[in-house]
Each structure stands twice: as structure tokens, then as C-alpha cells.
Amino acid sequence: MTSKKTGRSPLHTLAILAIQQGRELSAEISAKSIVLADSIRRPTLSAVVSRLAAGEACEEDDISLLETLEEELAARVSIELISTKVEPYLVGETDDEQIWSTTEVSVYSEHGEQALLLQRSLQRFLETQQQLVDRAKAERLIGQLLR
């Protein structure tokens, strides 16, 4: 099914998004390499980063390495936790007053903050990439069923 506005299928749009997020992730990994663990060999990670920068977003081996990296970042984030604090936030308003509540927020070291941002970008990319794979497989299955 093609969108009337763009002329593109949802699969095409999702592929573009995965490529864009892969390029952004590539730049982020390069910029925040200080927070990365040494358990993933740098040359191997550099090759993945280069492929992402070139728009190659679906290499199976690369996805496995990125999933491992995400796990390592999660571990890094947990050890970089300094404390927690309580912050207020606006829930809503009535005619004559504001309604506030509070939430507990984690406080991380500088490296922890960087690792957390990188982890979130990586998770977003992996989710988009998985949606792309799932949609492509679904379209292939539909094609087979309609033969």
C-alpha cells in the first residue's frame, strides 16, 4: 500500500528512517567512544560504524554486535548512577490552581549521562531496524500467500 501524499510505501518510509537513525547512531558512537567498554574490539566496532554511516542498516552480524553494545551500555549506566533526586512536575491545571506531583529522577556521572544518551539512541535504532525487518518479512509472506 502506498501513501497518496508521498508515493512511498510504509516499508520504504521505515527503511529511510532506519538508515537515518543508523547514520545518527554512527556519529554518536564516534563522538562518545570514551564511554564504550573495551570488550568490543575497536576495529570491529569501527567497521560497524562505517557501514552505518554509509547507510547499511541491516547487516545481521552488525545488529548482534550493536545488541551486545546496548547491553554493555546498560551495565555502564547502572555503575555510573550517583544518586536520585525528587523533582516536581506539572500534572494539570484547574481554573484557579496548578496541580503538581513529584517523580524520582536518577542522577548520573558525566560518563553515565553520555552512556545513557547513547544507549537510548541505540535502542531507538534497534527497534526501528526490527520493525523494518518484521514489515519486510510480512510483505514477503503476503506475497507468497497471494500467489
Residue percentage of the chain with pLDDT more than 90 = 61
SS3 97: coil
Question: What pLDDT, on a 0 to 100 scale, did the predictor assign at position 35?
Answer: 76
Phi, psi of 56 (to 5 degrees): -90, 100
Question: What pLDDT, on a 0 to 100 scale, did the predictor assign at position 4?
Answer: 57
- For 24-54, letters b (16+ CB in 10 Å) and e give ebbebbeebeebbeeeeeeeebeebbebbbe
Query: How far apart are the C-alpha atoms of 93 and 141, rounded to whole Å?
Result: 50
* 43 within domain boundaries: yes
* 101 within domain boundaries: no
The mean per-residue pLDDT over the stretch 108-130 comes to: 94
* 41 within domain boundaries: yes
Question: What pLDDT, on a 0 to 100 scale, did the predictor assign at position 135?
Answer: 92
Query: How far apart are the C-alpha atoms of 74 and 117, rounded to whole Å?
Result: 11
The CA-based angle 67-70-71, given to 5 degrees, is 90
Name the helix (H) or strand (E) containing 106: strand 98-108
Domain residue limits at 60: 10-80+109-145
* 88 within domain boundaries: no
Domain count, the chain: 1
- The predicted-structure confidence for 20-71, as pLDDT tens digits, reads as follows 999 999 999 988 877 776 667 778 888 999 999 999 877 788 999 999 999 9
* 91 within domain boundaries: no
* 57 within domain boundaries: yes
* 128 within domain boundaries: yes
